[in-house]
Amino acid sequence: MIRYECFEWLAPLMTDQLVVTSLSGQRVEWGHLSKREADLNLGSMGNALAVAIGLALALPHRKVFVFESDGSVLLSLFNLPTLANLNPSNMAVFVFDNQAYSGTRISYPSATAGKTDLAAVAKGSGIEHSVTVSKLEDFKREATAALSEPGLRFVVCKIEESLGHRQITRSDVDLVETKYRFVRYLERTEGKAIFQGRG
Amino acid sequence: MKAELANRTVAALKDAGINFVSYMPETRLSEILPVMKVDGSFTLVPVASEAEAVGIAAGAALGGKRAAVYMEGTGLFVSTYNLLTIGERYGVPILLLIAYVGSFEDQRNSYLFSHYGNKTKGILETLGIQYLTVASANELETRIKDAVRMMHALKLPVALLFTGEFTE
């Protein structure tokens, strides 16, 4: 399964869902295909799950998707027990697991290429719906359910390492602009002020 | 922390608009948590690491909550990366309620804490995080109000370092 194909299929189906992305090539690919105000690109590893938890708690009526990587989740495993116990029914996590230190350009195998099973770690942490998919049809099934049904989902997507994102022109929308675009979108759609303070 | 100070701290946070607190409890300020629970106007989120407390508070703040993180001073060292990547670089208003362990005024200071305490302000300054020390009950409400005002003005994390009377 190729990550870009998953995103190509999913992007046109998104409406008002919030999407939080971390750092790997998914950030580039999703940003290229989506370009939605509801997308929050964090541009860092180890933060997406936590930020998404905060968003899901603050806006329980909005669905929050998280696109993570194996490396980013391994960097923040402490999120999993917290997520399990909070159990936000409006959150769906998709971990694109290429089983490699891919961004390093040497592609050495990561822990998930060895003995580590992230879905089992999530399950052991208490996340009941924690599964691994490796075929596009199975990804579509999980994503369709995430779009239409409540309930916390943790889906590890085993993907081939792909370097296609390196051919995509990087966005010139920096992190601060991304934040303001996202916040202004929420202010407009939620009808409330997010940031306080006027000049 | 004396019950009266815990009550006043929570009341001041509420008056300042704080309504979301992610927390890793510790020994000096923990009495604020049952007061917050009874009050009922705070979303309280226990965490496994101060690192995720920062991220969760940031997400809540971006979703419209007035967010704080309550942690021990040692947690500042655990969450430095997250404060930099999400708090400072992204620019998210978060109030940091920090038990300033190992400071001069820390009434329970010992060799366990002093090596953290003497580097706490240096870490905050390196991160570009503004801070106020709260050592006396006389200044409690004013300091909380000032810190929250600064947090919204900067759209950055701002820290309150609780020591002195708050560590008895």
- When divided into structural domains, chain A yields a total of 1
Structural domain contains residue B120? no
Question: A86 lies in a domain?
Answer: yes
B156: CATH: 3.40.50.970
In a domain, A197, yes or no: no
Sheet holding A130-133, edge to edge: A39-41, A18-21, A64-69, A91-97, A153-158, A130-133
Range of the domain at A57: 3-190
H or E element, residue B72? strand B67-72
Considering the domain boundaries, does residue B135 fall inside one? no
Run of H or E including A97: strand A91-97
The answer, yes or no, to whether residue A198 has pLDDT greater than 80, is no
Q: Above 0.95 for ipTM, yes or no?
A: yes
Looking at the partner chain, which of B45, B55, B81 has a beta carbon nearest the beta carbon of A51? Answer: B55
Asked if the Cβ–Cβ distance from B56 to A47 is below 8 Å, we say: no
- Find out whether B119 and B76 touch, Cβ atoms under 8 Å: no
Residue B117 lies in a domain: no
Whether A195 maps to a domain, the answer reads no
Residue A114's pLDDT is 96
- Indicate yes or no: CB of B85 within 8 angstroms of CB of A78: no
A27 contacts in B (CB within 8 Å)? none
Q: Is residue B129 part of a domain?
A: no
Does residue A98 come out as left (phi exceeding 0), alpha (psi in the -120 to 50 range) or beta?
Answer: alpha
pLDDT of B76 above 90: yes
Residue B40 lies in a domain: yes
Q: Is residue A178 part of a domain?
A: yes
CATH number of the domain at A86, please. Answer: 3.40.50.970
d(CA A15, CA B164): 52
Q: Closest Cα of chain B to A1: distance in Å?
A: 30
In a domain, B64, yes or no: yes
Domain-embedded: residue A139? yes
Residue in chain A closest to B90 (alpha carbons) equals A176
Q: Is A66 on the interface with B (CB under 8 A)?
A: no
What count of other Cβ atoms lies within 10 Å of the Cβ of residue A180? 15
CA distance B25 to chain A (A): 15
A174 vs B: CB within 8 A: no
Question: What is the predicted pLDDT for the residue at A163?
Answer: 81
- Indicate whether A199 belongs to any domain: no
Q: Which of A80, A84, A63 is nearest to A20 (CA)?
A: A63
The domain tally of chain B equals 1
The per-residue pLDDT for range B77-98, each reduced to its tens digit, is: 999 999 999 999 999 999 999 9
Judge if pTM exceeds 0.95.
yes
> Is residue A82 within 8 Å of residue B52, measured between CB atoms?
yes
Mean of pLDDT over chain A = 95
**Cα of B153 vs its chain's centroid, Å:** 18
Query: Is residue A126 classed exposed, middle or buried when 0-12, 13-18 and 19+ CB atoms within 10 A define those classes?
Result: middle
Q: Is the pLDDT of residue A53 over 80?
A: yes
Owning domain of residue B92: 1-17+32-100+140-160
